[in-house]
């Protein structure tokens, strides 16, 4: 890390990392620091490790506060005579206190060693400021009435039946109020689509919308809540297949520092994002997902993460609120596992995924032009029993 250390010594680097995490940098300084992160994997890993380190310190502090509060409540109740607490004397009291608090003492000692070693060897004894980090699923919360276009056709047919005195009009499907919004992408040319389970798991009605603004009714075929993967199917007579998928679904994990890009619907039009894979695991070391450095917002949930060859390497799912660029994606190998589960249904026993990308070797602008017709906005209502 010599080139970097010529510009920042250890102390200054720690200060820069902390101000970056706390969001205290000005626009120019933040841009310069993010450029350093992208060009130097050690600095990026330093930011990730320091963020996780702060989380550990926060959790230990919260646990200490809880223990202290619990002890105070116990003492107060004992003094009021509301609970019985034996008074121990001499050695018995010492043994009791040791047995009661030895686990907390061990944790405190371990944390103290970690703090001392880490700060002295890497940052020359500087205490980091505490920061709160929250896991945020990237589904959007909306309030939108979706009118089924098929109802227009039904109403026309019913008018014709009324004119000809034909009985039994066809009932029109009711409009739905969409509450959640995310992204999905096709995994075959017949309308099978992948999104996150958290986007559709609480829904009775699901619609998807292409980049031309056309709505199609969809059904949920399979939910894997643990891996946050859902397979849905466009089940609408208006749907026309866009053709053979130009991209492949990767079976293997991507390497750290690989450049990636995303396509999704945080807005009412498709949005492109670009970044790189920053860690092989996800939030709190989750091995089902990976961490990517890219801009992401509510509505991006369920969107594909592509590598430079036009292969899907993940499903964008969540981010850490207090950490810039800490976004998480479910690894693409779990798409294969979800499809294997689906194939047990005889109706879908012939479904196959392709790992071969037809757009490898062409520039990203052309890749996106060929991909965007296969990416959909997913809108779902909230189930009311």
328 burial (CB, 10 Å; 0-12 / 13-18 / 19+) is buried
In the predicted model, is pLDDT for residue 282 greater than 80? yes
Cα 40 to chain centroid, rounded: 25
Distance of alpha carbon 69 from alpha carbon 80, whole angstroms:
17
Task: Quickly count: other Cβ atoms within 10 Å of residue 209's Cβ.
Answer: 19
Q: pLDDT tier at 283 (50, 70, 90 boundaries)?
A: confident
pLDDT band at 42 (very low <50, low <70, confident <90, very high): confident
Q: Using CA atoms, how far apart are residues 379 and 179, in angstroms rounded to an integer? A: 7
Closest CA to 197 of 208, 218, 182, 178: 182
pLDDT value for 22: 74
CA distance 377 to 326: 23
Alpha carbon 149 to its chain's center: 32
Strand 248-249 relative to strand 311-320, pairing: parallel
pLDDT surpasses 90 at 290: yes
Across 42-56, 71-85, 161-175, 185-199, the highest mean pLDDT is recorded for 185-199
Comparing 8 with 244, the larger pLDDT belongs to 244
Checking if the pLDDT of 172 tops 50, the result is: no
pLDDT tens for residues 316-331?
A: 999 988 777 789 999 9
Q: How many CB atoms lie within 10 A of CB 224?
A: 16
* pLDDT attached to residue 119: 45
How do the residues of the chain divide into helix, strand and coil, expressed in percent and rounded to 5?
40, 25, 40
H/E stretch holding 313 reads strand 311-320
Task: State residue 91's pLDDT score.
Answer: 52
Q: By the 8 A CB rule, do 336 and 347 touch?
A: no
DSSP state of 373: G
Contact assessment for residue 172 and residue 154, using Cβ atoms and an 8 Å cutoff: yes
HSE at residue 103, side-chain half, CA atoms within 13 A, is 5
- The yes-or-no verdict on residue 166 having pLDDT over 60 is no
59: which 2 tokens?
């959790």
**CATH numbers and ranges of domains, the chain:** 2-123 (no CATH), 134-385 (2.40.10.120)
Q: Which is more confidently placed, 241 or 36?
A: 241
Query: Three-state DSSP class for 205?
Result: coil
Q: What is the pLDDT of residue 214?
A: 93
Measured distance CA(330)–CA(292) in Å, rounded: 11
Higher-confidence residue of 156 and 211: namely: 211
Helices (H), the chain: 2-5, 10-22, 27-39, 41-79, 90-118, 150-163, 197-200, 333-342, 364-371
């Amino acid at each position: 890390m010599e080139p970097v250390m010529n510009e920042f010594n250890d102390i200054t680097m720690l200060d820069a990392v902390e101000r970056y995490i706390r969001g205290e940098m000005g626009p120019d300084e933040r841009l310069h620091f993010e450029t350093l992160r992208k060009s130097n994997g050690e600095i990026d890993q330093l930011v990730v490790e320091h963020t996780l380190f702060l989380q550990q310190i926060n959790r230990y502090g919260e646990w200490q506060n809880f223990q202290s509060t619990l002890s105070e409540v116990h003492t107060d109740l004992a003094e009021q005579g509301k609970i019985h607490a034996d008074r121990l004397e001499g050695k018995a009291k010492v043994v009791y206190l040791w047995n009661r608090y030895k686990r907390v003492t061990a944790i405190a000692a371990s944390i103290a060693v970690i703090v001392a070693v880490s700060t002295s060897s890497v940052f020359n004894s500087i205490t980091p400021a505490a920061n709160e980090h929250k896991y945020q699923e990237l589904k959007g919360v909306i309030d939108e009435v979706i009118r089924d276009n098929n109802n227009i056709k039904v109403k026309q047919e019913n008018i014709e039946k009324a004119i000809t005195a034909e009985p039994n009009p066809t009932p029109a499907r009711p409009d739905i109020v969409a509450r959640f919004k995310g992204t999905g992408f096709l995994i075959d040319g017949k309308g099978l689509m992948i999104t996150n389970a958290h986007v559709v798991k609480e829904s009775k009605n699901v619609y998807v919308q292409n980049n031309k603004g056309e709505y199609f009714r969809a059904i949920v075929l399979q939910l894997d809540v643990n891996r946050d993967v859902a397979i849905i199917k466009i089940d609408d007579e208006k749907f026309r297949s866009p053709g053979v998928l130009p991209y492949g679904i990767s079976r293997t994990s991507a390497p750290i520092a690989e450049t990636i890009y995303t396509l999704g619907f945080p807005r009412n039009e498709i949005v492109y994002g670009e970044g790189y894979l920053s860690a092989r695991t996800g939030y709190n070391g989750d091995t089902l997902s990976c961490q990517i450095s890219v801009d992401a917002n509510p509505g991006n949930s369920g969107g594909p993460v592509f590598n430079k060859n036009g292969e899907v390497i993940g499903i964008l799912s969540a981010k850490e609120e207090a950490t810039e660029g800490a976004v998480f994606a479910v690894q693409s190998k779990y798409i294969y596992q979800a499809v294997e589960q689906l194939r047990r249904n005889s109706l879908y026993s012939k479904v196959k995924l392709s790992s071969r990308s037809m757009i490898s070797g062409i520039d990203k602008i052309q890749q996106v032009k060929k991909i965007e017709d296969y990416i959909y906005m997913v809108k779902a209502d909230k189930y009311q029993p």
